[in-house]
């Protein structure tokens, strides 16, 4: 079986640009967007493309049809692997992890997961790896692994530990019960849940808020928050100061402009919103 290699099916993930946003849509609705090796290959290709494309200031990840994603493809990723040499299994796993968290967690552009429907098992990983997540109120989430005899591996448990409270996490890991978008928001797995008909509009609004801010500052702020959680206070202080001083050079001009608008021109108040960014030709 050609698990990896050969032509990449471009249509398995759709990429569209619209006013600063790259909409990335898992596009295997007939299989509820279950994630298979072909999808991983295409996602890696898309991440490379999007990070280098100026048409993208914010990337949104979502799914076509009734699912965000029904998790890992149980046939292609689990059952078919039984007959493969171990090295193939290892390579296929590496492909998944590469996009689902290694690339996504520290992606060059801010990321929003737009959870439109079923979000099961392995699908938690890209959702948590995105910086922000907005769900439809009636989207259905579940750590269904226990229902069919595996554990939330592939770093799903790590992702869950990052976002959910211990009791909630263990409850859903151990029962495999479904919960909806409202509950996901209440537990902190997603930022908010909105009525389905408002989902795209709300994600667009949020993307516009991010697009109005300096991409360099956002990148430093996102990375810094994620990194310092793993550091002790002394190292964290040093890391943050270094990052801040690095930004002084990278985004110094913009900050000077913000100083000017607040302190001299008095045309903006930092506590109330963002300064008017100078246009870059
Ligand atoms: N892996 C492989 N195939 C999957 C899949 C998965 N994770 N999720 C769905 N599919 C396939 C089904 O086998 C079916 O294929 P078929 O048309 O060839 O029979 C097709 O997608 C549609 O699925 P179906 O179950 O008929 O859709 P539904 O809308 O009635 O139910 C789900 C949706 C998500 C509840 C159900 O498909 C499901 O439980 N999927 C498995 C979810 C899971 O446990 N994932 C964890 C993996 S880590």
Rounded distance from Cα 63 to ligand 1 centre (Å) = 14
Q: What are 182-241's pLDDT values in tens digits?
A: 999 999 999 999 999 999 999 999 999 999 999 999 999 999 999 999 999 999 999 999
Strand, coil or helix: what is 99? helix
Tell which atom from ligand 1 comes closest to the C-alpha of 76: 2
Q: Which residues pair with 178 in a beta bridge?
A: 142
Tell which atom from ligand 1 comes closest to the C-alpha of 66: 29
What pTM was computed for the model?
Answer: 0.95
The residue nearest atom 1 of ligand 1, judged by CA position, is 73
Strand order in the sheet with 118-120: 67-69, 118-120, 140-142, 178-180
Q: What are 125-139's pLDDT values in tens digits?
A: 999 999 999 999 999
Tell which atom from ligand 1 comes closest to the C-alpha of 147: 44
Closest CA to 109 of 216, 266, 184: 216
**For ligand 1, mutation pick of 70, 118, 144 (most atoms within 8 Å of CB):** 70
């Amino acid at each position: 079986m050609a698990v990896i290699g050969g032509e990449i099916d471009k249509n398995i993930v759709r990429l569209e640009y619209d006013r600063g946003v790259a909409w990335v849509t898992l596009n295997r609705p007939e299989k509820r967007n279950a994630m298979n090796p072909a999808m991983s290959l295409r996602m890696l290709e898309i991440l490379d493309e999007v990070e280098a494309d100026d048409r993208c200031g914010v990337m949104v990840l979502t799914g076509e049809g009734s699912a965000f994603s029904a998790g890992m493809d149980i046939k292609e990723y689990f059952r078919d692997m039984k007959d493969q040499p171990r090295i193939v299994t290892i390579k296929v796993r590496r492909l998944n992890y590469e996009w689902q968290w290694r690339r996504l967690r520290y992606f060059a552009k801010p990321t929003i997961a737009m959870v439109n429907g079923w979000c099961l098992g392995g699908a938690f990983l890209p959702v948590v790896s995105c910086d922000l997540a907005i769900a439809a109120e009636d989207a259905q989430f579940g750590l269904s692994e226990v229902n069919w005899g595996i554990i939330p591996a592939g770093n799903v448990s790590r992702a869950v530990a990052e976002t959910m409270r211990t009791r909630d996490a263990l409850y859903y890991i151990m029962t495999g019960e479904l919960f909806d978008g409202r509950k996901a928001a209440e537990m902190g797995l997603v930022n908010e849940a909105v009525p389905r008909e408002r989902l795209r509009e709300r994600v667009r609004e949020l993307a516009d808020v991010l697009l109005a801010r300096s991409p360099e500052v956002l990148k430093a702020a996102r990375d810094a928050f994620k990194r310092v959680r793993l550091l002790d206070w002394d190292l964290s202080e040093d890391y943050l100061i270094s990052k801040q001083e690095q930004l002084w050079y990278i985004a110094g001009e913009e900050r000077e402009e913000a100083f000017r608008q607040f302190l001299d021109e008095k045309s903006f108040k930092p506590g109330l919103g963002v300064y008017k960014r100078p246009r870059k030709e």
